[in-house]
Structures are given as structure tokens and as C-alpha cells.
């Protein structure tokens, strides 16, 4: 997470770091974020579910 943040700050210093991860990694990332709130708080990092998982959930709703 630190490497992604430093790369993002190099391009856009004032923006919040957004990281897209798969479903198992999202749960780990959120647990780390909640446990180490001072280092990885939600003002610095935003974790999103990857596009594939969002698409698969949408297809499940449609019945495909």
C-alpha cells in the first residue's frame, strides 16, 4: 500500500489513493485499515471491489 501511495503522490500529490482489489484481498485490506487506523485511515486510502466481481454480481442478479 505504501508503494502504491508513493506512486500516486508522484503523479497527483493532493489526491486520495484508490486501490481496486479482488474480493478476498478487499476483506484483508479493510481489516488492515480498521486495525491500523492511524497509518491507513480512510482519509488516505480507499479500497474498491474489482470490476470483475461487480460484473459477476450483476450477472447473478440478472440470472445469467
- What's the confidence (pLDDT) of residue 31? 92
Q: What is the pLDDT of residues 40-59, one digit of tens each?
A: 888 888 998 888 878 888 89
Q: Which three cell numbers stand for residue 55?
A: 460484473
pTM: 0.69
pLDDT of 11 above 80: yes
Q: Are 47 and 29 in contact (CB under 8 A)?
A: yes
pLDDT of 64 above 80: no
Considering the chain, what percentage of its residues have pLDDT values greater than 70? 98
Q: Which three cell numbers stand for residue 46?
A: 480507499
- What's the confidence (pLDDT) of residue 58? 87
Considering the chain, what percentage of its residues have pLDDT values greater than 90? 14
In angstroms, the Cα distances linking 63 to 35, 51, 54 are 37, 18, 14
Which residue is associated with the grid cell 484481498?
25
DSSP-derived 3-state class of residue 36: coil
Amino acid at each position: 500500500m505504501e508503494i502504491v501511495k508513493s506512486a500516486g503522490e508522484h503523479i497527483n500529490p493532493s489526491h486520495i489513493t484508490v486501490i481496486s482489489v479482488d474480493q478476498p484481498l478487499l476483506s484483508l485490506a479493510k481489516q488492515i485499515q480498521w486495525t491500523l487506523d492511524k497509518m491507513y485511515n480512510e482519509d488516505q486510502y480507499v479500497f474498491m471491489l474489482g470490476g470483475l466481481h461487480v460484473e459477476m454480481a450483476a450477472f447473478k442478479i440478472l440470472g445469467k
